[in-house]
Amino acid sequence: MRRTQIQLTERQTEHLRRLSAELGVSMSTLVRQAVDLLLQSGGQADREALWRRAMTAAGRFNSGLTDVSEKHDEYLTDAYDDPHRRLR
């Protein structure tokens, strides 16, 4: 491996530090993974592939709730208050 010096914003550094601690990997590992993803994508996301992926996900999930369109704000607030709690 080669040592390379980069400059990150304070925000990027803090987010990277937190993610590193959560995942139990070094910040360097995360940066290398991000670079690999960028290189694999040719530097930009394939919009057509992203659209196809989004369309295949549409309708695949069912919460079992019948009033989501009416109470979406309530459900969203509940989800953000406790991201580990399932929708009731």
Tens-digit pLDDT profile for residues 54-82: 888 888 888 888 898 899 899 888 888 87
Q: Please tell me the predicted confidence (pLDDT) of residue 65.
A: 86
Q: Please tell me the predicted confidence (pLDDT) of residue 7.
A: 96
Distance CA 87, CA 65 (A): 9
CB 20 within 8 A of CB 30: yes
DSSP H helices in 1-88: 10-23, 27-40, 47-57, 68-81
pTM of the predicted protein model: 0.49
Q: Please tell me the predicted confidence (pLDDT) of residue 37.
A: 84
Residues 6+ apart with CB under 8 A from 6: 31
Task: Give the tens place of pLDDT for each residue, 4-48.
Answer: 999 999 999 999 999 999 999 999 999 999 998 888 877 666 777
Distance CA 49, CA 63 (A): 26
